[in-house]
Amino acid sequence: MERAAERLVRAVEMLDLRPDDRVLEIGCGAGVAVSLVCARLAGGRMHAIDRSPAMAALARRRNADQIAAGKVSIHAAALHQAELGEERFDIIFAVDVGLFRAHRAAEAAALRRLLAPGGRINLFHHPPVAARTQRLADETAAALRAEGFVVREVRIIPLHPVPMACVVAGAD
């Protein structure tokens, strides 16, 4: 399996989705994970954002049937600028997105506002070299803690040839 597809399949598997979950993906890229998530939702709904209008357009084309069915909406926006109304999400996730770098306080505030009570944030990092995996996991966990989130789990997921990090956090 191609490296990008494998990491997204594993990330979506780790979300442990329920059919009625409300899900937000940050940095949806071409929409591969959107397709994988929507296949697991029955009554649930998904929103996906990407700061690149070109990538959001590509994701919309890839997932046109799911959009037409009302299962997903895809927007071009950065997390701290996304207009998602009063929507709250059971699961917020991102794969290889550098949250907390340029707009740390604004992004943390957006996560707190968008996360439903009891919800969780899953942040995945799949670096090009194995030596960076643990460091990215540690840095992500530290950034979440510094912004007042509770880190529930830090996992290193074996993938070939480079492992992927997953940090799971919540507001409680």
Q: What is the pLDDT of residues 84-109, one digit of tens each?
A: 989 999 999 999 998 777 788 899 99
Q: What CA–CA distances, in Å, run from 1 to 4, 24, 141, 159?
A: 8, 25, 29, 11
Domains of the chain: 3-170 (3.40.50.150)
Residue-level pLDDT at 160 = 85
Residue-level pLDDT at 5 = 82
Q: Is the pLDDT of residue 4 over 70?
A: no
Tokens of 19: 């059919």
What mean pLDDT is predicted for residues 139-163?
94
Q: What is the pLDDT of residues 116-135, one digit of tens each?
A: 999 999 999 999 999 999 99
Tokens of 123: 């942040």
Residue-level pLDDT at 1 = 38
